[in-house]
Structure 1
Amino acid sequence: MNRKISTWIIASFLILLFSVTAMTSCTRIDAGHEGILVKLYGTDKGVQDVSLVTGRVWYNPFTEEVFQFPTFVQTVDYAPFTVNAKDGSVFTVDPTMSFRVMPGESPRIFSKYRKEIGQITQTTLYNYTRDAFRIQFNQYSTDSIISNRQSFEDKVQKALGDALEREGFSLEQMTSGLQYPEVIVQAVNLKNKAVQQAMQVENELKVAEAQARKKIVEAEAEARANELRQRTLTPLLIQQQFIEKWDGRTPLYGNSPTFFKNVQ
């Protein structure tokens, strides 16, 4: 009887152990990920030369482990850092990068770095980003960076893209968040202010010139009108205007009444 009970207990334990092992030795690779099978023992102790497709994966939890690498586009916003230009000016870079793991490259990436994608992003990819900016900054002076910013950023992105591609990553997009030195910002602001003041003075000068021309035209018109009036204002015309406005009373000029005043 005791033997049967012992057998039943052992069998139950084995069934339970098998069930637990079965549940822990199966995993599902999520969509947008690549699964890689890692052997924990042996001479290779690395990644099996197969990329596991999306779906369920069976493995031995005692000697193997499965990791998932996302293959969708990821975006990382790195902390700002400073870089020196060729002439010593200090620029601040606040980069944002979008990248993805190239299809089939997960085993090689894990075999080389033995880290998950989050750790690789914050260490290896960050170092590649800093180096790409540092190398390009060392080839440009401050003036050339400002006057050729688009060309500069294109070269940084190409250099970073080539470096990441060699490591199994594809660079989708990169923004530098480039910030100029404070001295340059102040100089640009002063220059813009001077230009604005010059434009304001020029506009005021144009207004003054226009007003002066207007006064000249008005004075010339008034002088012309006076000249015409003097030419047309004859004694006969004055007498006619006097008669038209006469009220019937004889005006007094001097000591005796006189009908017309001599205007010559």
Structure 2
Amino acid sequence: MMVTSVSLLSIGLGACGMVPGTSIQTVEPGYAGLKIQLYGGQKGIENAEVVSGRVWYNGYTENVVIFPTFVNTYPFTQAATEGSPVDESVVFSVGGSPVSADVGVSFGFNTALVNDNSPKTNLHEFYETYRKTPDEFRANELRNGLRNCFGEVAETLELTPSMLPTNQQKLVLAVSECMQTRFPNIVIQDVSLLGPLRLPPQIQESIDEQFAAQQAARTAEFNRQKVEAEAASNVERAKGEAQVLLERARAEAEANRIRAESVSPQLLELERLRIEQTRADRWNGEEAPVIQSPNVQLGGTVRSTGE
């Protein structure tokens, strides 16, 4: 948080005309401050002033609390390298079994007016309710709210440990809505899981075995459907090929029938005359050659060998 705090000591301040105890804080862009009176008739959060920029205040009688108004994501994780060096993972119960989750929450503080008839902002109501700085609120109320919302949603959805792998999206969406309802004076933009949910080893092993069995059953069913589909495809292909052959045979038989019906005695006689005419047209006026053989004469009159 970019906040500059300078305490001005009372020594020598009288000569400068400054009140002893005067302090200054700079509220950077993206932040809002609540300047709260600690004493006097204007004390209390209801009279606090929303401030920004360079703020002068009396460190004895006033306090300035700074809040980020931009949305910031904070990780609640088991690892010491994220968020806090201690385990901040969210632990809740599902079906009587403890579940540990690494959760990210995107949230910010809201300076909008509660309603048009009141000068109070959501920031006033937040601080009036919790009296915590942003870091204190995040480490306590926000984390506890996450744990309670996860437990309530898991119970409402009637989840069991074996149902968690397939219902994580539904779970975190419902938790996000629960958090916004629980903390109406801040903006809960998103709740997300930063890693797989952690279950007791024996329960996780049982879930893994169930999942493996389900996957094997799905694979077997897929293979069965694939074989059946291929067999059905082959049958349809064979039927199609047989139908093609049948149609081809029918077409050929029909063609032969038409040819047979078209041949008549008149057509045959006409064809014979056409052939005779072709021979006559090609004749050169000579008689056909005579081929002789013993006692046989072809092409002329048969004569006796004694003549």
| Shift in CA distance, 62/179, structure 1 to aligned 2, threshold 3 Å | closer
Q: Whole-Å Cα distance in 1 between the matches of residues 102 and 124 of structure 2? A: 31
Question: Is contact 1:21-1:61 (8 Å) kept?
Answer: no
Question: Is contact 1:34-1:51 (8 Å) kept?
Answer: no
User: By how many angstroms is 1:62 displaced?
Assistant: 2.5
User: By how many angstroms is 1:125 displaced?
Assistant: 0.7
| Shift in CA distance, 208/14, structure 1 to aligned 2, threshold 3 Å | closer
Q: Whole-Å Cα distance in 2 between the matches of residues 128 and 155 of structure 1? A: 13
Which moves more between the two structures, 127-136 or 191-200? Answer: 191-200
Q: 2:159 aligns with which of 141, 152, 163?
A: 141
Q: 1:187 aligns with which of 210, 228, 249?
A: 210
* Correspondences of 1:70-219 after superposition (within 5 Å): 70-79=68-77, 80-85=89-94, 87-103=95-111, 104-139=121-156, 140-142=158-160, 148-165=167-184, 168-177=185-194, 179=197, 181=199, 182=204, 183-196=206-219, 199=222
| Shift in CA distance, 133/108, structure 1 to aligned 2, threshold 3 Å | same
User: By how many angstroms is 1:150 displaced?
Assistant: 3.7
User: By how many angstroms is 1:70 displaced?
Assistant: 1.1
User: By how many angstroms is 1:134 displaced?
Assistant: 0.8
Measured against aligned partners, the alpha-carbon deviations of 1:61-103 in whole angstroms (never above 9, x if no partner) come to 2321222111111111113333222x43443322211011111
Q: Whole-Å Cα distance in 1 between the matches of residues 159 and 75 of structure 2? A: 26
Equivalenced residues, count: 204
Q: Give the number of the structure whose alpha-carbon radius of gyration is greater.
A: 2
Q: Whole-Å Cα distance in 1 between the matches of residues 170 and 12 of structure 2? A: 68
User: By how many angstroms is 1:131 displaced?
Assistant: 0.6
What secondary structure, in the 3-state scheme, does the structure 2 residue paired with 1:31 have? coil
| Shift in CA distance, 193/43, structure 1 to aligned 2, threshold 3 Å | farther
Q: Whole-Å Cα distance in 1 between the matches of residues 212 and 198 of structure 2? A: 12
| Shift in CA distance, 23/190, structure 1 to aligned 2, threshold 3 Å | same
Which moves more between the two structures, 130-139 or 58-67? Answer: 58-67
Q: Whole-Å Cα distance in 2 between the matches of residues 16 and 51 of structure 1? A: 27
Root mean square deviation, CA, Å: 4.0
Which position in structure 2 is the counterpart of 1:243? none
TM-score, normalised to structure 2's length?
0.53
| Shift in CA distance, 48/163, structure 1 to aligned 2, threshold 3 Å | closer
Question: Is contact 1:39-1:48 (8 Å) kept?
Answer: no
Measured against aligned partners, the alpha-carbon deviations of 1:158-184 in whole angstroms (never above 9, x if no partner) come to 11111111xx21111111356274122
Q: As a proportion of its length, which structure holds more helix?
A: 1
Which position in structure 2 is the counterpart of 1:228? none
| Shift in CA distance, 82/115, structure 1 to aligned 2, threshold 3 Å | closer
| Shift in CA distance, 61/48, structure 1 to aligned 2, threshold 3 Å | farther
Relative contact order (alpha carbons < 8 A, sep ≥ 6): 1 or 2 greater?
Answer: 1
Question: Is contact 2:45-2:124 (8 Å) kept?
Answer: yes
5+ unaligned residues in a row in structure 2: which ranges? 1-10, 78-88, 112-120, 235-307
| Shift in CA distance, 27/82, structure 1 to aligned 2, threshold 3 Å | closer
Question: Share of identical aligned residues, percent?
Answer: 22
Q: Whole-Å Cα distance in 2 between the matches of residues 69 and 180 of structure 1? A: 33
5+ unaligned residues in a row in structure 1: which ranges? 1-12, 212-264
Measured against aligned partners, the alpha-carbon deviations of 1:112-135 in whole angstroms (never above 9, x if no partner) come to 333210111110111111111111
TM-score, normalised to structure 1's length?
0.60
| Shift in CA distance, 196/124, structure 1 to aligned 2, threshold 3 Å | same
Q: Whole-Å Cα distance in 1 between the matches of residues 55 and 26 of structure 2? A: 6
